[in-house]
Chains A and B, each alone.
Chain A
Amino acid sequence: MGEMETAPKPGRDVPPKKDKLQTKRKKPRRYWEEETVPTTDGASPGPPCNKKNRELRPQRPKNAHILKKSRISKQPQVPKKPQEWKNPESQRSLSGAQDPFPGPAPVPVEVVQKFCRIDKSRKLPRSKAKTRSRLEVAEAEEEETSIKAARSELLLAEEPGFLEGEDGEDTAKICQADIVEAVDIASAAKHFDLNLRQFGPYRLNYSRTGRHLAFGGRRGHVAALDWVTKKLMCEINVMEAVRDIRFLHSEALLAVAQNRWLHIYDNQGIELHCIRRCDRVTRLEFLPFHFLLATASETGFLTYLDVSVGKIVAALNVRAGRLDVMSQNPYNAVIHLGHSNGTVSLWSPAMKEPLAKILCHRGGVRAVAVDSTGTYMATSGLDHQLKIFDLRGTYQPLSTRTLPHGAGHLAFSQRGLLVAGMGDVVNIWAGQGKASPPSLEQPYLTHRLSGPVHGLQFCPFEDVLGVGHSGGVTSMLVPGAGEPNFDGLESNPYRSRKQRQEWEVKALLEKVPAELICLDPRALAEVDVISLEQGKKERIERLGYDPEAKAPFQPKPKQKGRSSTASLVKRKRKVMDEEHRDKVRQSLQQQQQQQQQKEAKAKSTGARPSALDRFVR
């Protein structure tokens, strides 16, 4: 379950990402270059962008920022090793020169805090010395690992792209052509249009690495290609209506929801499977860590298919009519279904009923999308409203906006940009900062397409938005959409075939069981309290006594005739009375508190006391 969290790991063996898109590329700063020289005017090969009235934020390299901060910050977490300081041998060098910054580099506290998982605000009951030592060990471990993780943040060298207008300028007015003009050739090549007017509106899907693109037209056209190099992998016509298309765990497998059944093709267009138990599928979602393909059908069934073993894990009757709106929560792998009665229901394969049901719109729900951190859900309904909900327990709308025609499609990018397809226009909203919901005040970008939108997805690890519409497929540039740093072991866009195979095996070994899907993915790190108590009860029943109960008081034998039966009884009675008194005292205190509360309430609520109150019984 936890795999759904954003992994803090830096990409190991990350190849340099040359074609990272930024609207205005900066010349890569070398360490020998002076810091004072601002390299504002980048390596953009095109003409200078002054005419576009765009401006680049003077960017400091992240590393320098962190270092500067860290010099100042005096955090206690950083374990300074006194041995290293005091030991003369470690400091002695042949040349006699001393390290001006001895010891490990300091780490800023905030970064470390990000990786801490133990909630220290929750108080623990008093514990024995042995337990305490274990807890201390656990805490020390956590601190150490989080410090290490924070140190390794240094390796996340890539920075996200951005687009900023000159003061007063609306970035939404910048059109794709301008952006393409401003960026370098490699990035400009990522903007393209496929004019496929023949086979109707297209749906599309990017593979998890963001390297491959599959799209299927409603009239049967299915194609998969390496969209960066524009190398076509396969192109077929399934001679049937295509409702949805989705890559499975790798780009080698392709699931296509056709008119009747679900079909699975390989990357050469060869049909591998026809799954007849999933019929009349309208929407597909793939849960990568569970190897589950979730299908929503016209018949009102939500079916989970385990693609690693080819078994249907669960077929849930949603009891809400035709299912047409589906999305997954990447954080906890919960499936969100939108219904015609304005509700969104949250599903897991382990439960026969929805985990939660949220009433979002007055009309039916047209589109649902959940952001990558699992914090926000965007919904649009027939009431022309676009709402962003908080998924962290409250399920309340954070912001609402009425769109002139309502959004038919929604999608979140990795960095939290929200795109909505309305008719033939896509609107993109950006948040104010990181981990903040997209503000619906001002669109970040808009783009008009040649036909009404039918499918939307942001490309992972690229600043690219893929739009499928009736006129074909458009790949547009959205600066700041993709995560700049990828995990080379998890989803490497540049992986070779061998690496892919290797990854596949590892991913299969680390497959998460389907039944672990629940709203809180960290629940696995909690003790099942109910069964714990049940077990305790059963044990007590089996043994006939409570082994953990407090032993009743047994007076100690005394000498010189003071250990007579009467005195023993007396002593026992004394202790019992003491306990009883304690209980009574406690209960009395409680009663008093309750009374006080009541009185306070009465005082606060009650009107002026009238003279007739004395007759009230």
Chain B
Amino acid sequence: MNVNRVAESLLALSQQEELVDLPKNCPLSENEDEGDSDGERKHQKLLEAISSLDGKNRRKLAERSEASLKVSEFNVSSEGSGEKLVLADLLEPVKTTTSLATVKKQLNRVKSKKVVELPLNKEKIEQIHREVAFGKTSQVLSKWDPIVLKNQQAEQLAFPLGKEQPAIAPIEHALSGWKARTPLEQEIFNLLHKNKQPVTDPLLTPMEKASLRAMSLEEAKMHRAELQRARALQSYYEAKARREKKIKSKKYHKVVKKGKARKASKELEQLQKVNPTVALEELEKFENARMMERMSLKHQNSGKWAKSKAIMAKYDLEARQAMQEQLAKNKELTQKLQVASETEEEEGGTEEVEELLVPHVVNEVQMNVDGPNPWMLRSCTSDTREAATQEDPEQLPEPATHEVSESEGERPVAEEEILLRDFEERRSLRKKSELNQDAEPAGIQETKDSSSQEVLSELRALSQKLKENHQSRKQKASSEGTVPQVQREEPAPEEEAPLLLQRPERVQTLEELEELGKEDCFQNKELPRPVLEGQQSERTPNNRPDAPKEKKEKEQLIDVQNLLTTQSPSVRSLAVPTTLEELEDEEERDQRQMIKEAFAGDDVIRNFLKEKREAVEASKPKDVDLTLPGWGEWGGVGLKPSTKKRRQFLKAPEGPPRKDKNLPNVIISEKRNIHAAAHQVQVLPYPFTHHRQFERTIQTPVGSTWNTQRAFQKLTTPKVITKPGHIIKPIKAEDVGYRSSSRSDLSVIQWNPKQITTRHSKELKKNSRLSSWKSDSQEF
């Protein structure tokens, strides 16, 4: 604003000057004698006048003057500007904006400086304080929630709160007064004391105790510090190793490797001097490494690098050299060491003895395992192969056939065995039964004979069976096996059957078939019964449920008359309860009663039904006629409201069905027992939302009439117990296991005398909301 204003005024000023120039120049020439100062003043005045012409900018230019004793009108000078205003000066800003830039800068500075906001009024500040305080306090207090909940749900609370002393004395105390009396006890105690076994509770021997005591706290601390150090070092080392592993420079790795090798060789030399045996072991290790190398054949042309080099080798000399180096190395590595051969030879002497017993090939193979020449190995294997091939025609067919025969034979044998076992079992059973039946010692031999005969016969039968089986299989196989024969190209006709027998599936199926057949016949015999039974049982339950249903239906349909007039069986076997004197009287009475009954019965039922109908009618909610005669139509004497209207306004709410709806011989009153209802609970207590929930909690009686004494006491224990004569202090954080920081937490929120501006208040509010939300989220 200010800038604009100043700029405008300045512009205006310059324009004015231009305009004024002309008339001014004329008089200037005329009265030049008048001093410059006079002219200046005039000029000022003129400027003022001009500026005042502009209605808006009526501000006076600041005119500064020094205080002096004598104030003359001539003495006044425009020292603020200091210089004479030249027209060029005034024109300058039009051309360049340098002077304005500073102004702009100043203005910007002014702008950037923020204006101090107005402080809020007191009420607002207090409100904000309260809100923040509330948020924080509730957050602090929320940690008590679980404890409060626990206490609310606790069956019983005992005050003053404090840890309860165990009521029962520890076993040591109990034992202190006890002494071994019987000899057995004394003996036992002597034994225990000999071994210094603890008799009382702490199950530690004195040794253990001493050991426990031996380790002081400082030692433990030191030990721990050491462990920590070691762990730290390890981690550093690991980190270093990882870093080094990551390094991709080949040169570096080469250097490292070489260094290592050098180191190793040095160490070896040293070792040879110091401890030759260990050095030998080391050498063996090297040897092993070499073997590994040889086995893996890393240095052949198979590697990635080697392949790439092989491609490059045509054109690149270096690559060729590298290849050659590699091959040389390979050779070097794969050469047999002299030392190893020596040892072999040495051992060979011992082995020669064994060679007599063991075939040649085996040893060679063993040697192969140790670490041998590949060329040799190859020859060995070829030898073995040859041997195998030589032996093959002799050996192979035999075991093969044998195997085949075995594998062929095994299963039938197994079958036979199973069958035999079955027969044996049956036989034993039969024997037993026979023994049981006969129970004669003389007959045993005969039975044995008979049994042996039976065995024979059974065996015969069995063999026949087997044969039959085979035959049948054969037949089946021949019928079915034409296609597989062709496919397999094993046309040996003798082997056909066994080969076919070999197949487990068919055999199983056949067996199964037989078994199934047996089972089937068994099942055919057995099953029908259960099925029939099941059917019957099914039928009967079907019938049964039906019957009650029918009965129910009937019951509903049954008249009271039927119900009452059904003939009931009379008691005849009773001792007849009559005395002679009363007989005649009773007969007369009986007759009278008979007549009465004959006539009264129907009446009774009709009356009852009528009564019931009336009761039903009475209990039905009455219709309310809300028709307004004459409303919307003509009214008057003799005029009835139209049926349409009547239908509209009649109200007949239907009540619940009567309890005796399906009980023809009963009238149950539907009236409420108001007096009893007064004793019932009419308002649901707090946590319950449905009456059935609450009912469940009050269904168990509490009184001692229905409960045992213990149960009664437990059910009626007071919820809070206080110790008389003790001060009940409020619960503390320490009691519950918190550290006592609630005070300090609360003290954080204090009345801050600082002014709170609206911005602050907003931030605070936001924070408090956040904090409250956090606390909520913690709760759930």
Contacts and interface: CB of A to CB of B under 8 A. Distances in A.
A531 B571 CA distance: 52
B687 A395 contact: no
Given A145-B715, A400-B566, A422 B700 contact: no
B579 A130 contact: no
A529 B680 CA distance: 9
Contacts of A133: 153
Contacts of A425: 574-577
Contact of A527 (B155, B564, B611, B694): B694
Interface in B671-712: 671-684, 687-701, 704-711
Given A9-B705, A117-B701, A423-B582, A527 B691 contact: yes
Interface stretch (B137-145, B363-371, B661-669): B661-669
A363 B571 contact: no
A142 B699 contact: yes
Contact of A125 (B590, B690, B710, B711): B690
A2 B706 CA distance: 9
Chain B interface residue number, banded: 35 or more
A151 B660 CA distance: 41
Interface residues of A, number: 96
A96 to B, nearest CB: 9
A518 B700 contact: no
B128 to A, nearest CB: 22
Interface string B38-72: 00000000000000000000000000000000000
B466 to A, nearest CB: 51
Interface in A361-379: 361-363
Interface in B541-579: 555, 560, 563-579
B22 interface: no
A355 B697 contact: no
Contacts of A448: 575, 577
A518 B676 contact: yes
A422 B577 contact: yes
Interface stretch (B103-111, B259-267, B602-610, B633-641): B602-610
A148 B707 contact: yes
B171 interface: yes
A149 interface: yes
A110 B673 CA distance: 36
A363 B564 CA distance: 10
A8 B701 CA distance: 12
B705 A7 contact: yes
A505 interface: no
A382 B668 contact: no
A117 B568 CA distance: 38
Interface string B643-670: 0000000000000000010010111110
A422 B576 CA distance: 9
Contacts of A7: 705-706
B714 interface: yes
B600 interface: yes
B519 interface: no
Contacts of A452: 579, 582
Given A385-B568, A401-B569, A515 B675 contact: yes
A351 B700 CA distance: 27
Contacts of B676: 350, 515-518, 523-524
Most buried by A among B153, B665, B698: B665
A180 interface: no
A89 B201 CA distance: 9
Most buried by A among B555, B577, B665, B707: B577
B570 A401 contact: yes
A77 interface: no
B593 interface: yes
A355 B660 CA distance: 12
Given A353-B671, A423-B578, A362 B604 contact: yes
Contact of A513 (B586, B679, B696): B679
Interface of B: 153, 155, 171, 178, 555, 560, 563-579, 582, 586, 590, 593, 596-597, 600-601, 604-605, 607-608, 611, 660, 663, 665-669, 671-684, 687-701, 704-711, 714-715
Interface of A: 2-3, 5, 7-10, 12, 89, 92, 94, 117-119, 122, 124-125, 127-128, 130-131, 133-135, 137-139, 141-142, 144-145, 148-149, 151-152, 172, 341-343, 348, 350-351, 353-363, 382-383, 385, 394-397, 400-405, 422-425, 427, 440, 442-443, 446, 448, 452, 490, 510, 513, 515-518, 522-532, 535
28 contacts: A10-B708, A122-B692, A124-B696, A138-B700, A148-B708, A149-B708, A350-B674, A353-B669, A355-B669, A358-B665, A359-B564, A359-B666, A362-B600, A383-B601, A395-B665, A402-B570, A404-B576, A404-B577, A425-B575, A452-B579, A515-B676, A515-B679, A524-B680, A525-B695, A526-B680, A531-B677, A531-B682, A532-B691
- The 10 tightest CB contacts between A and B, nearest first, are A425-B577, A515-B675, A400-B568, A402-B570, A423-B577, A362-B601, A528-B680, A527-B691, A138-B697, A145-B711
